[in-house]
Amino acid sequence: MDAPSPGKRAADAPKDPAGSGVRPWRGWGPVELVLFLANFSLALQRPLTTQYLWHRLGAEVGYNGTSRAGGCNDTADPKQQEVETMTSHWNLYIDLSSLFVGLFSATLLGPWSDRVGRRPLLVLSSFGLILQVIVYILVVILELHVGFLLLGRLLCAFLGDYNALLGTGFASVADISTPRTRTLRMAILEACLGISGMLASIAGGHWIKAQGYTNPFWLALAMLIAAMLYSAFVFRESVPNPHEASLFTLQHYRLIFQLFAAPSPGKSRKHLALYLLALFLVLTIHYGTWDIVVVYELSWPLCWGSDLIGYGSAAQHLSYLVGLVQLWACQLCLKDSWVAEISLAFNIVGMVVFSLSRTTALMFTGYGILSLSLVVTPVIRAKLSKLVNKTEQGALFSSIACVSGISMLSASGIFNSLYPATLNFMKGFPFLLGAFVLLIPAILIGVLEIFDPRPEYQQTLH
């Protein structure tokens, strides 16, 4: 991102209402680094938490066959199935504990950031994530009951959670980009997420194997502290004229209602609703498969250790970086919607391969196919962003954060319940179900593209 000239910065700076001549600090750093640091921490924590639950719950029932070195059985072990079921259920409880609080905070904080600026929300959400990691560290060090992990999620959700942080990052990109460049800019931001996740996954897998769970959690905490300090003192505010506004007011909820109810030039409630539905379905499959894939890899017949799990998680995050190159190349000859359709096709095939995977080679083949599958999310976010005004970006991305939260709940409820229920007849059935569900957003995006009457999404006819 090109640095604005001093003259432009002075013009964009908010005027001091008191006439003191003192302007608020606007900063100079891009938002991408905030998301890089925060996502590094989250990517380190996700498989770390699942593996901790697996080993902790396995110890409670007297099962330790968690890798080939540890004696993973070649047949279905009742104790292994019990640990798989308990781990899936605890993942569900942890996700449920934060959903409703997260929905309340996201809808409150997003429109608030349209007025006060993006910086306060970035700092607040980063602090919430810090509190969550502190609770997790205490659970690991003091061997507290795993139920305390729910407390960490609740504290984090009350202050916005990662969804609010992510939504604010995308809103900031929307603030400073043009409709023409917005899709690529959002893909660049997602590529930053992918690079950070890939690095965290590789490092975390080997680190857990060498030193256990405590030290990786400390690194996750350090990254979040760095993200909060960067947000507070370095990040360049993208809202041109931020001003003070009350946080606890119904006006913020009215702004979200008006986003879908109030007519305006170029805005289509039908398009907003259908694109959000498509995003909901894509994210539900995305979160759901991520919830169960580590348990799927830990158990028979794959019997992966923490190092292979780290490589697998890195391959998942590589999709963001590959998606950026894929989007840049495909935009030379295709419209965004058709690039998203290609992405969904790879996603469907990758899910089918996962459902049939019984060897490490086939599992990584699935990861390779899925590396071309994540272009769809930046395309949908960019299309939604183009449907609303500059002053509504925070409200829009808080709505997207709510959709993300609801999809996370749906994913946890469906996949963490379906996975243990289908172990006896087809272990990979949830992945196969995900492949079929992804046909729906593929149809929606294609129909919206074909029948969209607005010039922004149509080729010039003359």
- At 53-92, the pLDDT tens digits run 988 888 888 776 554 344 455 545 677 888 888 888 888 8
The pLDDT tens digits for 337-382 are 999 999 999 999 999 999 999 999 999 999 999 988 889 999 999 9
Residue 111 inside a domain? The answer is yes
Residue 17 inside a domain? The answer is no
Q: Which domain holds residue 43?
A: 29-63+70-237+264-451
Residue 4 inside a domain? The answer is no
Checking if the pLDDT of 331 tops 60, the result is: yes
CA dist 168 and 25 (Å) reads: 18
Residue 71's pLDDT is what? 44
Least confident range of 11-25, 91-105, 288-302, 334-348: 11-25
Under DSSP, the state recorded for 3 is P
Checking if the pLDDT of 431 tops 90, the result is: yes
CA dist 322 and 313 (Å) reads: 15
Dmax (CA) for the chain in angstroms is 76
The pLDDT tens digits for 224-263 are 999 999 999 999 998 888 878 777 777 767 777 777 776 6
Residue 344's pLDDT is what? 96
- What is the arithmetic mean of pLDDT over 185-204? 86
Residue 249 inside a domain? The answer is no
Place 25 in a pLDDT band, splitting at 50, 70 and 90.
low
Q: Which helix (H) or strand (E) holds 220?
A: helix 214-233
Closest CA to 242 of 4, 10, 24, 1: 24
Residue 3's pLDDT is what? 43
Residue 70's pLDDT is what? 40
Checking if the pLDDT of 332 tops 90, the result is: no
We report the CATH number of the domain holding residue 361 as 1.20.1250.20
The pLDDT tens digits for 94-116 are 877 777 787 778 778 888 888 88
b/e map of 102-121 (b: 16 or more CB within 10 Å)? bbebbbbbbbbbbbbbbbbb
- What is the arithmetic mean of pLDDT over 261-271? 67
Q: What are phi and psi of 29, to 5 degrees?
A: -85, 150
Residue 430's pLDDT is what? 95
CA dist 454 and 456 (Å) reads: 6
Q: Whole-angstrom distance between the N-terminal and C-terminal Cα of the chain? A: 34
Residue 124 inside a domain? The answer is yes
Contacts of 459 (CB under 8 A, 6+ apart): 335
Residue 460 inside a domain? The answer is no
Place 2 in a pLDDT band, splitting at 50, 70 and 90.
very low
Question: What is the distance, to the nearest Å, from the Cα of residue 48 to the centroid of all Cα atoms in its chain?
Answer: 17
The pLDDT tens digits for 146-165 are 999 999 999 998 898 888 89
DSSP state string for 11-51: HHSPP-TT---PPPP---B-THHHHHHHHHHHHHHHHHHHH
3-state SS, residue 444? helix
Closest CA to 80 of 237, 258, 302, 269: 302
Residue 201 inside a domain? The answer is yes
In the beta sheet, which residues pair with residue 29?
A: 235
The pLDDT tens digits for 382-418 are 999 988 888 888 888 888 888 988 898 888 789 988 9
Residue 62's pLDDT is what? 79
Residue 459 inside a domain? The answer is no
Instruction: Domain count for the chain, please give it.
Output: 1
Residue 39's pLDDT is what? 92
Residues above pLDDT 90, as percent of the chain: 34
